[in-house]
Chains A and B, each alone.
Chain A
């Protein structure tokens, strides 16, 4: 019975996940020659040229940085949400979720106009006699775009775990003489770790592979791994090299997930919202 109802899912996964993945692997390990495709590691050795390693390093750096900023901003936000009365809680939650109803590309395009030299933000700043902000087409703009787009993915899992912590545990810690800092360090934070880990994973992965944010807000200058892959498929038409980079990314993400699950320990019961 259960088997039967699995069928459509299995068929779907086979057709649209397994087969494409195998194709990616196939293209990654072959190069075109006059007699058709031949097996080769050339695509991989090419990736380890300094110029592409630099791109990888830049992507990892930006992804780590924006994940950290998301965590620093998102954790307090989640705590504030948990600490509020029910009605206000849902209002706050709504504020985080509503922007996600709008298309991600449109929101990123909006930043493109907001951040312009003579854009809304600068007009506002100069009206207030504050220094102008010229960050469009820089690293900072790319990080801003990532943090803005991915912050909800950090807040929501942390919120979901925090709201499930038994109030009695916190009160007990207080009764036993712990001050609020100690309660947080010894009780709340350790209990919320699964949410933090899940938040980090959900921000880090899209940040590592994004190509739209870096192209729009970075003005095509900050090539990230995602851009490199996109360029190989859409502009250059070198599917082999593009696939090889994709395979390397898959391995990297698997690796980071393994590291994460190590930190996650046994309490891996995470329900992202």
Chain B
């Protein structure tokens, strides 16, 4: 009897051990499998928050049979750090100009095969082959715009034509800044009369001091909430990207957008394929789909951002097509600069921004 019991116990121990082992195998198995097992062809897309009409994704799935897993980020730096640390494994990403250069130079991107993107013929020539990607080997432009000041005419009685207004104590606690280091440091640099791509450490330090000085006047550092706060009349002035301004002006007629005289940042957000993308075929199809005029039109109408697509632009309502705050003319962009990748000086930008935020 006793012996039997012992035997029973031993077998139950073995059983338990087996169960434990099985659980472990299951755990590890599910970890490694979850990344690649799918029944349907799938692409993983990593885009800015609130940047497309998401019903487009369903249409893409319906047309091509490719499922889209869609994630969003708030700043280029967020996106870069995630891709760099091996997170995500995406097929299509939407970096901005300078970030595209950085990722291209660090070998983080696959080449884009233009023959697989027939809709690229609809793009405006002036937006192709720009410095951030000279031969358009790695990117297809998606949207472009400027950065400027969105202000509430009921609350601001000064003329808004200079970045300096963001340092005016009259508007203390009425100012929203962008929680994005290159944009905010860039604005400080512009108001000091320097280039937004400066590599001069002293100029940068000066910009940092200026931002620290401004901090008591700032209501908050935000990204996506900015436009809603302005619509709700929670602040008088906000640094904002042009497309967000379009949305704000539609929702609240007191709001106006101005590009300051010192200059602005002319920016491009592009579509690219990260190194190691699992479904490159699907990625090309997706990029082509997003460049197709009818889809671009829906996106333009939904987000209010300017699009680099000449066919679509002709389809836009006249009042939007001729709105210079959305589609600025050459003369509006005289002082505009495109961000370039900063190389090692980026570290100084990082440090200055950390200090401004910690101040």
Chain A residues in the interface with B (C-beta under 8 A): 1, 4-5, 7-8, 11, 51-52, 54-55, 112, 116-118, 137, 218-221, 223, 227-228, 231-238
In the A-B complex, the 7 residue pairs with the smallest Cβ-Cβ separation, listed nearest first, are A219-B220, A220-B221, A236-B350, A235-B77, A223-B358, A137-B220, A237-B81
Cβ of A227 and Cβ of B23 under 8 Å apart?
A: no
Docked Cα-Cα span, A212 to B229, in Å, equals 19
Docked Cα-Cα span, A237 to B83, in Å, equals 11
**The residue from B9, B77, B233 contacting A118, defined by CB atoms under 8 A apart:** B233
Would you give 23 A-B contacts (Cβ < 8 Å), ordered by A?
A1-B13, A5-B16, A8-B24, A51-B355, A51-B358, A54-B358, A112-B225, A116-B232, A118-B232, A219-B218, A219-B219, A219-B220, A219-B221, A220-B179, A220-B220, A220-B357, A221-B357, A231-B354, A234-B77, A235-B77, A235-B81, A237-B80, A237-B81
Docked Cα-Cα span, A118 to B84, in Å, equals 42
Cβ of A237 and Cβ of B84 under 8 Å apart?
A: yes
Interface residue? B116 (CB, 8 A): no
What are the residues of chain A within 8 A of B234 when measuring CB–CB? 116-118
Docked Cα-Cα span, A7 to B355, in Å, equals 46
Docked Cα-Cα span, A117 to B230, in Å, equals 12
Docked Cα-Cα span, A238 to B222, in Å, equals 22
Docked Cα-Cα span, A5 to B21, in Å, equals 11
Chain B binding surface, main DSSP class:
helix
What are the residues of chain A within 8 A of B13 when measuring CB–CB? 1, 4
What are the residues of chain B within 8 A of A235 when measuring CB–CB? 75, 77-78, 81, 181, 350, 353
Q: Which residue of A lies closest to B220 (CB)?
A: A219
Q: Which residue of B lies closest to A134 (CB)?
A: B173
What are the residues of chain B within 8 A of A5 when measuring CB–CB? 16, 20
State how many angstroms separate the Cβ of B224 from the closest Cβ of chain A.
Answer: 12
Fill in one digit per residue for B63-77: 1 if any A CB lies within 8 Å of its CB, else 0.
000000000000101
Cβ of B77 and Cβ of A237 under 8 Å apart?
A: yes
Docked Cα-Cα span, A5 to B15, in Å, equals 11
Chain A binding surface, main DSSP class:
helix
Cβ of A11 and Cβ of B24 under 8 Å apart?
A: yes
Contact (A221, B215) CB under 8 Å given A8-B23, A118-B234, A237-B84: yes
Cβ of B357 and Cβ of A231 under 8 Å apart?
A: yes
Docked Cα-Cα span, A218 to B75, in Å, equals 19
What are the residues of chain A within 8 A of B324 when measuring CB–CB? none
Docked Cα-Cα span, A237 to B80, in Å, equals 9
State how many angstroms separate the Cβ of A97 from the closest Cβ of chain B.
Answer: 30
Interface residue? B17 (CB, 8 A): yes
Residue with the greatest number of chain A CB neighbours at <10 A, chosen from B80, B179, B350, B354: B354
Docked Cα-Cα span, A4 to B350, in Å, equals 49
What are the residues of chain B within 8 A of A218 when measuring CB–CB? 220
What are the residues of chain B within 8 A of A232 when measuring CB–CB? 354
Cβ of A233 and Cβ of B222 under 8 Å apart?
A: no
What are the residues of chain B within 8 A of A233 when measuring CB–CB? 81
What are the residues of chain A within 8 A of B220 when measuring CB–CB? 137, 218-221
Fill in one digit per residue for B39-80: 1 if any A CB lies within 8 Å of its CB, else 0.
000000000000000000000000000000000000101101
State how many angstroms separate the Cβ of A41 from the closest Cβ of chain B.
Answer: 18
Interface residue? B37 (CB, 8 A): no
Fill in one digit per residue for B273-294: 1 if any A CB lies within 8 Å of its CB, else 0.
0000000000000000000000
Q: Which residue of A lies closest to B212 (CB)?
A: A51
Q: A7-B20, A228-B358, A235-B181 are in contact. List 5 more A-B contacts (CB 8 A).
A: A5-B16, A234-B78, A234-B82, A235-B77, A237-B81
Interface residue? B359 (CB, 8 A): yes
Q: Which residue of B lies closest to A109 (CB)?
A: B225
